[in-house]
Structures are given as structure tokens and as C-alpha cells.
Chains A and B, each alone.
Chain A
């Protein structure tokens, strides 16, 4: 048992101690910090520029240009974007799509990963190939047949937000996200599960635990770091998607926020400051998730089964 608990934690805890022992203040370190600081700042410039633009009024920038000192900074654009684009409503749509999609993807890929990593059936290799390759396909390739298929699949009203079809339903969009994303997650999770010693489930098996209990009570809890990492990535991908949200919905009010934000970009009139504010607002949820799960993020993302 103790050996197991250490596995996921090993990457985080053991190394810093080892390295710290040799730590000295060297010029190389200073150079490194300067380099990293400069890089980080350069990487931030586009965002800072957008933030700056969003805090200025349209009147100010149209008179003085964007590359000028602001006469005043205001949150006016944020308020307007929030109201004009009806952001709260679309945020809710995004949540309705993203949360179930992330949870289902994790559940499904954990199931498949459990199977391919813990049991030596002949189909394992084939399954992994199928999922991994499928995940890498360009989405444009499948859109026409998928759309037609969605038009043919009836759904009860409570699942289809009233459309009666897989098309134009939250359920349909959630399903395509799950189908697509489960490839990458299955791959990562199966690698992760392989690092969990086999004695563990074996002991449970001897105790007469069912396969489901092994999965639910032993393996899943141990995969928490990997789940944190994947949940972060999945949230980023699914929340940020605008392709499926655009193509599979016909009811404008049901679209997720990333598809809806373009309505701020008027056909005949555009207010850059307003769009900047709206755009930045949409980025807040993913940013929050990333910051919240950041600690687990890197350590949980075991991509190669190469841990010593």
C-alpha cells in the first residue's frame, strides 16, 4: 500500500530535494532568470495589449489611435459586452456543454484505459490504435455525414432541448466532444494506469472484489492527478471549441459562448474595444480552471510510460 501511494507523488516530491542540495548562486542562474523573465513578458505582450485596448473607450481610441496613452481607463466596455452580447446566458450554455462532456469523457476513457492497461485481451492494441488515430482526424472530414446522421436520430424532448433531434441539441454536441476527445484521454490514462502496481488489484481480486469495484474503488482514486490534468486540458479544448457549436446548432440562443461572441463583431460596425473586452471575458473560466488545477496539471499528465 505505501508503495502505491508514492507512485503518483514521486514526480512532485522526490526531485526538488535532490536538486536543492547542489544549489548555488551561479551566473548561469541569473542568465536563466533573465531569459525566462523576458520570454514570459514577450508572451504576455499580446494579452496585455488586448487588456489595455479593452479598458479604453471607443471615442478615445478613434480620436488618438490605439497606440497612444489612454485619456482614461474604464470598465465600461466590459459592462457593455456583458449586456449587449447576453454573456451570462451563453456562459451557462458553455457550462451545460463543457461539464458533462468533460466528466463523460473522463469516465469513458478511464473505462477503456482500465481495460487495455489491466487486462491482456487480444483487442487492446487495436482499441488503442482506433481511439488514438480517431482523435487525430481533422474534424472537417466528418462534418457532412455527421450532420445528416444527427438529423436522423430522434431524441426525447428533455434530452434535445425541444428540437426532438440529435441535431440542434446540447446532447449531440456533448456526444461529439466525448467521442473525439476520448482518444487522447484513453491514451494518457492507460499510460498512467500502467504505472500502478499490479499487486494492488491482484490482492483485491483475491479478496473477491468484482472488476467494477477494482475499477471504481482502487484504480480511479489513484488516477486523481491524471484526472486533474486531463480535466484542465479537456475544459480548455471543449470550452474553446467553436466549430461544433457553430455547425451543430441552429438555435442562436443555444450556442456556446465562443460561437456567440462573434455577434459582438457587427456586420456593419465594429468596436474593437468592446470586442476585446468580450473576448477577454470569455477566457476567464478556462483561466480559472487552469490556475485552480495547475499544481496537479503537470504531474498528472503522464504521456509516456517511462517513469523509473
Chain B
């Protein structure tokens, strides 16, 4: 085991040269390098990080998004106290984001990993399976939302038609309308994409892994499950971490699908999500930019936890070399 991980680390480390090489760069090289790094970094910082920091500042203000600086009123943490104490949608949103996360971690993500593992066995028709399952990722969220609306429609939808639950008076299931059901219905639709996405990422990871590992384990008479748990899975630690982070971030950022299904007009009971609340408060005619930003900061802080732990996990190794 240790041999394997060490080997992987050595490869990673081998890419980084000794510091002696740097000295051989000419002045012109340095300028070129500076531009190569400087322009993308500047763009990224100016368009992503500066607005993020401004949003943090705005979260302590009251502003309807109209007019100049004079119309922005500093109100301290009032937005936060409103959010935590008054707003009837905030805590449900947090709860739904958590359910989303747990659901993703428990079902579509492991299923995607499982599919990838099966598809990696170099069997026939693998490209057909791969393509068919990957298709949902190719389609935009707007289209996905539309497709699932036609599936969940109470009268004409595919599900109710098959189950025979489209008869008012008898059994009648409102998948997207019932506030106890709609989150689960949307989660199924989201999983359709998530599992496919994870499958492709993990497949890429598996293809990159050393195949001799698995063969060696198989020859030793280990069962498939044992091979996977003891050899493949631990050897894929970097990709596992990516999968975990992707899953967490996708759960927190979940937006498009619900936005399409629940509509742009306000929030639907049962489908409150932080990203939706942010969009509803910031976009639109009479926006509460300060309050929306405060919600955004909460989401940011929650997102930063996995982002940072992941960043540290991934780069700790490199720091050592």
C-alpha cells in the first residue's frame, strides 16, 4: 500500500525541478513568464475575487441596487439577524441544502463511482454505455428542467401515467407541487446528471491509475470487492478527494434545475435553497442587495470549508517537496 502512494507522490514530485533552473532564465523569459501568469491572474482576481469581497461588504448594508454610493446605507449585522431570526425561508433553505448534500453523497455519487468501475473493465459496448449515461451532462439545466417537468406533470406526466396516479379523487401525486415531495423529485432529476458526471470523472481517474495494481491483486486471489476497497480506491485518493469536493460544491451551488422547475417568481415551499434565495433577492425589480449579499456570504462561508480543506489536502504534498 504505502509503496503505491509513495510512487504516486514521487511522480508528482518529480515534476518540480530544483531551484537551480530558475537562474537560467533570461530577462525576456521572465517578462514572458510574468505576462503568462499575470494576465490570467489579474483577470481572475478582478472579475471573481474583487466582486466577492465587495459582496461581503455589501452584506452589512441596506441597498436596493439603484443609485450611487449615497444610496447605500450601512446597517451593521442587521441583515444577518433578519436572516437568522425573522426570515421563514432561510432555515428551510439550509436544511434543504444539507439534505441535498447528504443525498448526493449517499446515492448518485457512489453510483457514479460504481458505474465508472464497471465501465473500466474494458468490456464490449462500453462506449455505448458511457455515451448513453453521460448524455444528461451534455444537456443544459434549462432543458433538463423542462424534460423533468413533462415527466412529473400530475396529469400527463410519464411517472403518474405509468403508476396510474393521475386520477384526481383517487390517488393523485403532485411530484413538484407537494412541498413534502418536490425536493425528492428534484433530487432524482439532479442525480440523473450527478451520477453521470461523477462516472466520467472517476473513469478518467481510473484510466490514469496504474492497471498493474488491480491485476496483481486479482492474481493474489482477492475478490473484486476486496480489490476495489484495498487497492483501487486508496490508490485513487486524489481523485476521491476531487469527487467529494465536486459533490459538496454541486450540492451547495444547486441552482439551475430548481430555478427552472420552481420558476423565477419567488420560492416554492419545499424547494427553498440558498442559491435560489440569493438570486431572488438580488435580481428582480426591487432587490434587497444587502440582504441577498448576506445570504451569499453564508453560502460562501459554507463553501469555503470544503474548498479550503480540499486545497490544503491537495497541495500539502507539493509544499513538502
Residues of B near A12 (CB, < 8 A) are 207
Residues of A near B25 (CB, < 8 A) are 211
The distance in angstroms between the C-alpha atoms of A12 and B22, with both chains bound, is 34
Say whether B239 contacts A145, CB under 8 Å.
no
Say whether B303 contacts A67, CB under 8 Å.
no
Say whether A125 contacts B283, CB under 8 Å.
no
- Residue B231 CB within 8 A of the other chain: no
The distance in angstroms between the C-alpha atoms of A40 and B133, with both chains bound, is 5
A206 CB to nearest B CB, Å: 9
Say whether A303 contacts B208, CB under 8 Å.
yes
- Residue B99 CB within 8 A of the other chain: no
- Residue A251 CB within 8 A of the other chain: no
Checking A16, A39, A142, A306 against B133 with a beta-carbon cut-off of 8 angstroms, the contacting residue is A39
- Residue A36 CB within 8 A of the other chain: yes
The distance in angstroms between the C-alpha atoms of A300 and B51, with both chains bound, is 33
Say whether B33 contacts A14, CB under 8 Å.
no
Checking B44, B135, B158 against A134 with a beta-carbon cut-off of 8 angstroms, the contacting residue is B44
B211 CB to nearest A CB, Å: 4
- Residue B106 CB within 8 A of the other chain: no
Checking B125, B143, B293 against A283 with a beta-carbon cut-off of 8 angstroms, the contacting residue is B143
The distance in angstroms between the C-alpha atoms of A108 and B205, with both chains bound, is 24
B101 CB to nearest A CB, Å: 14
- Residue B271 CB within 8 A of the other chain: no
Residues of A near B249 (CB, < 8 A) are 136
Stretch at the interface among A77-85, A95-103, A156-164, A178-186: A178-186
- Residue A176 CB within 8 A of the other chain: yes
What is the interface residue range for chain B against chain A? 35 or more
Residues of A near B19 (CB, < 8 A) are 120
- Residue A261 CB within 8 A of the other chain: yes
- Residue B115 CB within 8 A of the other chain: yes
Say whether A46 contacts B283, CB under 8 Å.
no
Say whether B208 contacts A279, CB under 8 Å.
no
- Residue A59 CB within 8 A of the other chain: no
- Residue A75 CB within 8 A of the other chain: no
Q: Known: A67-B161, A133-B311. Is A114-B11 also a contact (CB below 8 A)?
A: no
A259 CB to nearest B CB, Å: 8
Say whether A43 contacts B15, CB under 8 Å.
no
0/1 string, A131-142, CB within 8 A of B gives 1: 111101110111
Say whether A282 contacts B143, CB under 8 Å.
yes
0/1 string, A244-258, CB within 8 A of B gives 1: 000100000000001
Residues of B near A215 (CB, < 8 A) are 36
B296: nearest chain-A partner, CB-CB = A141
Checking B135, B137, B239, B256 against A242 with a beta-carbon cut-off of 8 angstroms, the contacting residue is B256
The distance in angstroms between the C-alpha atoms of A119 and B311, with both chains bound, is 20
Checking A16, A141, A240, A283 against B52 with a beta-carbon cut-off of 8 angstroms, the contacting residue is A141
Checking B22, B147, B148 against A121 with a beta-carbon cut-off of 8 angstroms, the contacting residue is B22
Say whether A112 contacts B40, CB under 8 Å.
yes
B165 CB to nearest A CB, Å: 12
B42: nearest chain-A partner, CB-CB = A179
- Residue B54 CB within 8 A of the other chain: yes
0/1 string, B236-261, CB within 8 A of A gives 1: 11110010010001001101100000
- Residue B184 CB within 8 A of the other chain: no
Say whether A303 contacts B132, CB under 8 Å.
no
The distance in angstroms between the C-alpha atoms of A287 and B50, with both chains bound, is 35
A1 CB to nearest B CB, Å: 18
A125: nearest chain-B partner, CB-CB = B315
- Residue B141 CB within 8 A of the other chain: yes
- Residue B228 CB within 8 A of the other chain: no
Checking A40, A124, A137, A175 against B303 with a beta-carbon cut-off of 8 angstroms, the contacting residue is A137
- Residue A302 CB within 8 A of the other chain: yes
Interchain residue pairs with CB less than 8 A apart (29) = A11-B208, A19-B121, A36-B118, A41-B132, A43-B132, A43-B192, A43-B196, A50-B147, A66-B156, A120-B19, A141-B297, A141-B299, A142-B51, A144-B55, A144-B292, A186-B40, A196-B15, A210-B28, A240-B139, A279-B143, A279-B146, A294-B127, A298-B204, A304-B205, A304-B238, A304-B242, A306-B208, A307-B208, A308-B11
A-B complex: 10 closest residue pairs judged by Cβ atoms: A304-B238, A308-B210, A194-B15, A67-B161, A142-B51, A240-B140, A301-B204, A145-B51, A111-B36, A40-B132
- Chain A contacts to B: CB under 8 angstroms: 11-12, 14-16, 18-20, 29, 32-33, 35-37, 39-41, 43-47, 49-50, 53, 61, 65-67, 108-109, 111-112, 114-115, 117-121, 124-125, 127-134, 136-138, 140-146, 149, 175-176, 178-180, 182-183, 186, 193-198, 202, 205, 210-212, 215, 229, 236, 239-243, 247, 258, 261-262, 272, 275-276, 279-280, 282-283, 286-287, 290-291, 294, 297-308
- Chain B contacts to A: CB under 8 angstroms: 7-8, 11-12, 14-19, 21-22, 24-26, 28-29, 32-33, 36-37, 39-41, 43-52, 54-55, 58, 65, 115, 118-119, 121-125, 127-143, 146-148, 150-151, 153, 155-158, 161-162, 192, 196, 200-201, 203-205, 207-213, 215, 235-239, 242, 245, 249, 252-253, 255-256, 275, 278-279, 282-283, 289, 292-293, 296-297, 299-300, 303-304, 307-308, 310-311, 314-315, 318-319
